[in-house]
Amino acid sequence: MSGERVRHSSLRIGAPLMLVIGLAVSLFGFVEIASAEQELRFSLVRTAQSDSGDFLLGRNGWHEPPPTQHIAILIEHRGSRLLFGTGLGRQIDAQLDAELPWRTKRYANVRPVRDQLEEDGLEIDRIVLGCVRWEHVSGLADYPEVPVLASADSLSYLKVATPPAVLPSQFRHPVRWQSLEFQASPYREHRHSLDLFGDGQVVLVPLDGHGAVGLFLTLADGRRFFFRGDRLERDAGDALENVIALQDANTQASLGFYPRWVEGAGQ
C-alpha cells in the first residue's frame, strides 16, 4: 500500500510539473517571438526606376549609367512601422502633368509603396520625409491619414520652392504635418540629431540645403546604414567610415528589394 501511495503521489506531482514545464516552454517561445518583433529591420521598397537618358565618359569610353531606383525605406522597430520617404505614388503622372506637362517622363515600372504594402496587409504608422522634392514625396497623397514628420527647414523650403524641384500638386490634400525636433546631441560628424526610438538604432540628422534629413539605421549585429533623404544616387561625399551607403546601386542590388527584409544576424 505504501508503494502504491508513493506511485499515486508521483503521478499527482508529475502532471502539474509537466504542465508547468509546458507553460514555461510556451512562454519562452512567446518571449523569443516578441523579442524578434522588437528588433530593427528594414526593407528597400522600389516604387519605380528612371533612366537618365545621358551617357557618361569613363576610363573605358562612353557608357550609360545604371537606372536610378526610386526608393522608400520601410522600417519596423519596437512594434512600429514607418516609411522614410515615399518614392513615386499612384498619382505621379497627374502630379507632373499639372505642373510640367511638357516634361519627359523618364520613370517606368511604377509600383506605389501603398499598393505593395496593402497586398501584404501592412499599414503605416507615420512617414518621415528626408526631402520635400517631387521624387521623394509623390506617395504622400496615397497616405492622407498618416502623420508626416519633416524638418522645420524643409517646411520653410516648401513654401518658397517652385517646380520642377517641388510640385504644389503633390500637397493639395490635407497633410498631417509634424515638425522634427532635433537635439543638440552630436552623432558622428553631425552636431544635431534625433534618436527616434531612444535606443540609437534609428537616428535622423539634419543635412545642409533645403532642410534635407539623413537616416542612420543600426542593426542588432552592428551593421550601420546611411541614406540621404535628398538624393536618389550615391555621391562621393556619402562615403562614411564603417557605414554602408544605401544610395549605392550595388548595395541595393545585394540587399534586395521589398518583400526582402534586411535584419540583424540571428533574427
Tell me the three-class secondary structure of 173-218, residue by residue.
Answer: CCCCEEEECCECCCECCECCEEECCCCCCEEEEECCCCCCEEEEEE
pLDDT at 5: 47
What would the pLDDT profile of 68-111 be if each residue is shown by its tens digit?
899 999 999 999 999 999 999 999 999 999 999 999 999 999 99
Q: Give the helix ranges, DSSP H, for the chain.
A: 2-38, 92-99, 113-119, 134-137, 152-160, 249-255
- Side-chain half-sphere of 56: how many Cα atoms within 13 Å? 8
pLDDT in tens, 173-231: 999 999 999 999 999 999 999 999 999 999 999 998 789 999 999 999 999 999 998 87
Q: Which residue has the higher pLDDT, 59 or 194?
A: 194
Residue 171's pLDDT band (cuts 50, 70, 90): very high
Whole-number Å distance between alpha carbons of 51 and 109: 11
| pTM for the whole structure | 0.82
Which residue type, as a one-letter code, is found at position 141? A
Cβ–Cβ < 8 Å for 127, 83: yes
Instruction: Determine phi and psi for 12, rounding to 5 degrees.
Output: -65, -35
Q: Residue written as cell 536618389? A: 232
Q: What is the percent of the chain where pLDDT is above 90?
A: 70
Half-sphere exposure of 156 (CA within 13 A, CB side): 8
Q: Decide: 25 and 31 in contact? Cβ < 8 Å.
A: no
**How far, rounded to the nearest angstrom, does the alpha carbon of residue 249 sit from its chain's CA centroid?**
17
- Cα separation, 105 vs 70, in Å, equals 13
Non-local CB neighbours of 185 within 8 Å, separated by 6+ positions? 192, 193, 195
Rounded CA separation 166/57 (Å): 30
**Cα–Cα distance for residue pair 224/251, rounded to 1 Å:** 13
Residue 181 corresponds to which cell in the numbers above? 525636433
Top pLDDT among 234 and 49 is at 49
Closest by CA to 182, choosing from 203, 201, 199, 202, is 203
pLDDT at 43 over 80: yes
Fold of 39-263: Metallo-beta-lactamase; Chain A (3.60.15)
H helices present in 39-141, as ranges: 92-99, 113-119, 134-137
